[in-house]
Homo-oligomer: A and B are copies of this chain.
């Protein structure tokens, strides 16, 4: 049975993700209840708008990280893990509401975005309301730690998004710049989800630090995978519109690697297309990606990060969360392999 957790995922990813997520099914059910209850905490006049955004059809990767890193055995549903999972998910949903305004996206998960449904003006404010409420839940823990860490992570996520926005079509972006942007916009919230999961799960400081490093590297790997999928993925396999990075002039690792490898004249024509604000042809770009074997090089970069993520756990193999964390890293590795197979076959 495909629950709300995975219902929007395409078959292949759904199967992979379900293998990991079946472990945290009771926690996710508790999160569903928590999120539904949260709707009642908003001002009555905007509850229906909040409910629209707090839909339960996403992958819930960040809550999964919280539950897995704080894992204390099958069936143990800790209230504070559920609450902190709600916090990181709500921050993530708020960023999606604002992202969809900026990308002028009409659809997400097969329905209208909040910007399309309520207008961009209301959507700006609705994102703000979700951010505020996430921080409000964070402030209900006994100490200020959750609020301190989550507010800082939120600032970093949005700062990474600003940098990316300001550097669209900028071909002088370095590999270090790219790493910095994906560290902030994606890895930061993965990292803090793992840190808070392990910490609220009651684990010792050395494992909490290990979970923190695991989350960071997994987040970097996930974002590079996501950027690769935008070029070489099959839409029905990935479950979202692809080629948007090219269309919006976002310089990601695959495109940066392509620019490095092509001839000066081809580079000049790609740069001209990017800077002129023209969308590069997705089909043509994919063809060149294949010819230049970019996917393999990008896959190596992902593998490097997954190796570091796994290495962070090496001294903690006896702890309950570790097998699940390794399974999550394997899941991503498998998804990358599926992507490459599709790319070669396509």
Contact = CB atoms under 8 A, between A and B. Distances in A.
Given A42-B159, A159-B42, A184-B43, A165 B132 contact: no
B126 A162 contact: yes
A121 B102 contact: yes
A57 interface: no
A58 to B, nearest CB: 20
A25 to B, nearest CB: 31
Interface in A10-58: 42-43, 45-46, 49
Contacts of A119: 165
Interface residues of A, number: 48
Contact of A46 (B124, B128, B132, B159): B159
Interface string A122-154: 101111110111011011111110011001101
B133 A151 contact: yes
A155 interface: yes
4 A-B pairs closest in CB distance: A132-B155, A136-B151, A139-B148, A139-B147
20 contacts: A43-B155, A43-B159, A43-B163, A102-B121, A102-B124, A102-B125, A118-B166, A121-B165, A122-B165, A122-B166, A125-B159, A126-B158, A129-B155, A132-B158, A133-B151, A133-B155, A136-B151, A136-B152, A139-B147, A143-B144
